[in-house]
Amino acid sequence: MKTFKKSIVAIIALMATINTGYSQNTSDIKKLSDDERMEWWRDAKFGMFLHWGAYSIIGGERGDQIAGGGAEWAMDKLDYTIEEYEKFPRMFDPQLFNADDWVKMAKDAGMKYIVITTKHHDGFSLWDSKVSDYDIMDTAPFKRDIIKELAEASRKQGIKFGVYHSIVDWHHPQAQGNLFPNYNAGQKDQTVINPEFPEYYKNYLKPQVKELLTNYGDIDVVWFDGDWIADYTTEMGKEMYSFIRELQPNTIINNRVDKGRKGMEGMDMEGNFAGDFGTPEQEIPATGIDEDWESCMTMNGTWGYKPDDTKWKTSEDLIQKLVDIVSKGGNFLLNIGPDGYGRFPAQSIRRLKAMGEWTDANGEAIYGATASPYDMPEWGRYTKKDGIVYAHVFDWPEDGQLVIHKNIKLKKATLLVASETEISTNKIANGTVLKLPKEAPDQSVSVIRLELR
Ligand code: GLC
């Protein structure tokens, strides 16, 4: 990934001298170095993923059928033909949608950025797209540019704004559309190539991406998906990456823009691939990885709204997952699937609130922190920042004795939430014993601040 980035910079510099045709004045924008560009993202740690679209009306149900897995795949999983499915965009009228409220809920939860589905695999676009009639303005009664409202609300409230965009398009005739006009079981071979796909890429996918990157101010993250289809090639991916860099030199692009991703594990295989960060999906790497990565995850088991899915992770589990990820050097992109009216599920709101309370009290040990330099302890995780190591205790010791790593040269230990009282310590052969109060200060994760000598 890294070598590719260097050559890309050279190519962009060259292109900038021969091609100044794009509407945005990119020449005025200072091009940051790779590290400078990634800085806010590396510090941010926690973001909100939003899966929202016409499928949010369906809720993964059709008659007595319930879609397995993610309900955003309703068109495919519930065997809707293109024609049958089109009625959902035509009734998409989420009157309860309020961009300010959504952004505020993300912000209050301690999230520093949001990434919203601008177009999922079903092909329906949530913004005012000039190259498509299958969008919020032309097809839906709602006729409000959702991407514009969210971009503006994010900027106003000081949150970074990102766009998810699927390369897959089950609706467009030059993508998957005319291969599967009756999009039903048995016709879903994703290895079948549409010979007209390069036309879709050139005249639809790229122009749509360009709209998103020129009409909504700074786009902080571009989050591609659908990289697996055989129609899409690594040449297209690399070209797309440079195309975006030229439009917005400092945006951050995930690795699904190219074809290097190793399945759900999400990091790139060996080779030259475009993309600024890896995208583990529904999983957290076992150990730290010395590259940029972000785990995306659902609160229950679905990305799109699905009332039948009641397998909610507990708030405690989600907080521990955030800590686990930060201790391994990654970011956490946690999903919300709002319903067809524009509401967040109550279960999600409760979890966001719990995470907000926790990050509010313990954010010092999360934002801007780096991976643990020590082996993972049995009782929890470590993070590190500016000469301080944070011990995140998942399992509070019943006897009040916590052993910390022998390489931690301790000056002073305190509870993060009660920094006045110094914790007494005792050196032993394999580390230092901290003498903790009987009760854990936090039920999910209690943080101990370890000042180093
Ligand atoms: C998968 C699914 C998709 C979801 C994405 C999020 O690739 O196909 O529905 O949007 O994961 O990472």
Reply yes or no on domain 8-365 having CATH 3.30.70.3420. no
Does residue 219 line the site of ligand 1, with CB under 6 A?
no
The predicted pLDDT at position 306 comes to 98
Superfamily of domain 380-452: Golgi alpha-mannosidase II (2.60.40.1180)
| Gap between the Cα atoms of 131 and 143, Å rounded | 16
**For residue 108, is pLDDT > 90?**
yes
* Ligand 1 centroid to residue 398 C-alpha, Å: 41
**For residue 53, is pLDDT > 50?**
yes
**For residue 23, is pLDDT > 60?**
no
Mean pLDDT over 194-203 rounds to 94
Strand order across the 431-435 sheet: 401-405, 431-435, 424-428
The per-residue pLDDT for range 344-381, each reduced to its tens digit, is 999 999 999 999 999 999 999 999 999 988 999 999 99
DSSP H helical segments within 78-205, as ranges?
82-85, 87-90, 99-108, 146-157, 197-200
| Gap between the Cα atoms of 283 and 263, Å rounded | 11
* Ligand 1 centroid to residue 344 C-alpha, Å: 19
The predicted pLDDT at position 1 comes to 46
**For residue 105, is pLDDT > 60?**
yes
Q: Are strands 446-452 and 388-393 parallel, antiparallel or unpaired?
A: antiparallel
* Ligand 1 centroid to residue 129 C-alpha, Å: 22
Q: Which atom of ligand 1 is nearest to the CA of 304?
A: 9
**For residue 12, is pLDDT > 70?**
no
Domain limits, the chain: 8-365, 380-452
| Gap between the Cα atoms of 98 and 393, Å rounded | 37
The per-residue pLDDT for range 138-192, each reduced to its tens digit, is 999 999 999 999 999 999 999 999 999 999 999 999 998 765 555 443 456 767 7
CA atoms within 13 Å, Cβ hemisphere of 433: 10
Does residue 72 line the site of ligand 1, with CB under 6 A?
yes
Does residue 48 line the site of ligand 1, with CB under 6 A?
no
- Are residues 392 and 447 in contact, defined by beta-carbon separation less than 8 angstroms? yes
The per-residue pLDDT for range 240-290, each reduced to its tens digit, is 999 999 999 999 999 999 999 999 999 999 999 999 999 999 999 999 999
> Considering the chain, what is the average pLDDT of its residues?
92
The per-residue pLDDT for range 410-443, each reduced to its tens digit, is 999 999 998 788 999 999 998 999 999 999 999 9
**For residue 122, is pLDDT > 90?**
yes
The predicted pLDDT at position 186 comes to 42
